[in-house]
């Protein structure tokens, strides 16, 4: 039986964001699936036209959704998440789900200081609109370019925006921004947990919305756990690290790490 990878996308996008990486890993012998967040299992144009199913969607509901999918699989899968998908990967591992996890440019769990200047600028507009009553928030091209793809040529950045970006539930940003003030935050996990599966955290050195310093703090928070936690930073990579030029190098590093921790495509899945 082929080892399964569950790809988990982040905010502002759909599973379409994995259109390069997913077939690459299938070519390496993995079975790959990329389930959508609730309300995002539709074409991009359909979500843009009617984003109302995303209203009120929060971190807890999304993680529960993926937990149900993982539990239905025949064997514990590998979890690979980007941005908020990286946070969800960490939360799922904390629940004892998954054979290994890779969190790429991950949004931070509760307890990780995330108030960096570029991160605040990237999300302040969406958070403000949510607090003013817009439960569904939209992103302009200028905001997307600043936060996700600031080093890409303008035409390439515009193509990514036109193909990928959708309106989003504002609740996830609210829950993240105020997680430190909420002891019961759905973004909380136990960094000391020793029984969880191996975790690789990946950062892009030019990421603005999740600057690499946040990922490094995230990695250090696991220092008291005996579970394996590794960190890798890629130079000259934006938040669009999973699809910008050079994404293959990231995929190669992930594949090598999966082999190293014993969950390669030929490893037993029991």
Give the pLDDT confidence of 33-50 residue by residue, as tens digits.
999 999 999 999 999 999
User: Do 55 and 135 touch, CB atoms closer than 8 A?
Assistant: yes
Share of the chain above pLDDT 90, in %: 97
Grouping H, G, I as helix, E, B as strand and the rest as coil, residue 4 is strand
CATH number at residue 54: 3.40.50.1820
For residue 167, what are the domain limits? 4-260
Helix intervals (H) in the chain: 21-27, 44-49, 59-72, 84-94, 117-131, 141-148, 154-164, 171-177, 212-221, 247-260
pLDDT at residue 269 in the model: 76
Buried b (16+ CB within 10 A) or exposed e, 235-248: eebbbbbbbbeebe
Residue 247 in domain: yes
Q: pLDDT tens, 9-27?
A: 999 999 999 999 999 999 9
Cβ neighbours of residue 141 under 8 Å, at least 6 residues apart?
157, 158, 161
Residue 268 in domain: no
Work out the end-to-end distance of the chain between its first and last CA atoms, rounded to an integer number of angstroms: 10
Residue 156 in domain: yes
Residue 146 in domain: yes
Query: Is the pLDDT assigned to residue 270 strictly greater than 70?
Result: no
Residue 267 in domain: no
pLDDT at residue 77 in the model: 98
Q: pLDDT tens, 157-214?
A: 999 999 999 999 999 999 999 999 999 999 999 999 999 999 999 999 999 999 999 9
Query: Is the pLDDT assigned to residue 267 strictly greater than 80?
Result: no
Share of the chain above pLDDT 70, in %: 100
Residue 223 in domain: yes
- Average pLDDT in the chain: 97
Residue 42 in domain: yes
**pLDDT-derived band at 266, boundaries 50, 70, 90:** confident
Residue 265 in domain: no
Q: pLDDT tens, 55-66?
A: 999 999 999 999
pLDDT at residue 1 in the model: 75
Number of domains in the chain: 1
pLDDT at residue 268 in the model: 74
């Amino acid at each position: 039986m082929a080892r399964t990878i569950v790809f988990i996308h982040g905010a502002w996008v759909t599973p379409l964001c994995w259109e390069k990486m997913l077939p690459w890993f299938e070519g390496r012998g993995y079975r790959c699936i990329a389930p959508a967040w609730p309300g995002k299992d539709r074409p991009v144009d359909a979500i843009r036209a009617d984003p109302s199913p995303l209203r009120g969607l929060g971190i807890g509901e999304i993680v529960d959704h993926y937990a149900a999918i993982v539990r239905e699989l025949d064997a514990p899968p590998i979890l690979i998440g980007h941005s908020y998908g990286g946070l969800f990967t960490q939360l799922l591992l904390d629940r004892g789900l998954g054979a290994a996890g890779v969190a790429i440019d991950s949004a931070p769990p509760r307890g990780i200081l995330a108030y960096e200047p570029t991160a605040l600028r990237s999300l302040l507009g969406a958070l403000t609109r949510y607090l003013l009553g817009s439960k569904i928030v939209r992103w302009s091209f200028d905001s997307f370019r600043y936060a996700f793809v600031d080093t890409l040529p303008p035409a390439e950045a515009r193509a990514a925006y036109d193909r990928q970006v959708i309106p989003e539930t504002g609740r996830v940003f609210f829950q993240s921004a105020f997680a430190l003030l909420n002891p019961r935050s759905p973004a909380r996990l136990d960094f000391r947990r020793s029984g969880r599966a191996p975790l690789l955290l990946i950062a892009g050195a030019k990421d603005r919305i999740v600057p690499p310093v946040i990922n490094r703090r995230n990695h250090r928070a696991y220092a008291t756990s005996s579970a394996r936690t590794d960190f890798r930073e890629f130079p000259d990579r934006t938040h669009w690290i999973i699809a910008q030029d050079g994404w293959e190098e990231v995929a190669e590093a992930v594949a090598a790490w999966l082999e190293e921790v014993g969950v390669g495509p030929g490893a037993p899945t029991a």
